[in-house]
Amino acid sequence: MVGRKKVEVSILQYADNIVFFGEATMTNVAAIKTMLWSFEMVSGQKINFAKSCFGAFGMSDEWVNNAVDFLSCRLLSVPFTYLGIPIGANPWRSETWETIIAKCEKRLSNWRQRHLSFGGSDSN
């Protein structure tokens, strides 16, 4: 719950990445901007709004563009990637998972080269 009006805002946060989930209202958009400005004042760090994105589902393009202008950020296009995971993409399409599978295969290949050895195998 945030602010005097106790606006409910849910977040997903990892390191320097954050996703806010909430009802698409200008009150919530203003609450998010206030939280980010408060973070800047308390931490001394700057939010790079030019790198930040905003998106809303079920709202008119005009409403979303007004929110983007208010936040001074970019418009979020769907699908997007969050921490390497495709969000909003069709999970049934193999293309959705190709980059994740390739990353896993590369890491497993590197791990196998460092930790598995065929030396000492017994051949009778």
Distance of alpha carbon 104 from alpha carbon 57, whole angstroms = 31
Q: Are strands 74-75 and 53-54 parallel, antiparallel or unpaired?
A: parallel
Residue with tokens 């206030």: 34
In sign, the C-alpha dihedral spanning 22, 25, 27, 30 is positive
* Cβ–Cβ < 8 Å for 7, 1: yes
User: What's the pLDDT tens digit per position in 94-119?
Assistant: 887 888 888 888 888 877 666 665 66
User: Could you tell me the pLDDT band of residue 2, with boundaries at 50, 70 and 90?
Assistant: low
pTM as predicted = 0.61
* Cβ–Cβ < 8 Å for 66, 60: no
Q: Domain residue spans in the chain? A: 1-77, 82-117
Distance of alpha carbon 36 from alpha carbon 14, whole angstroms = 15
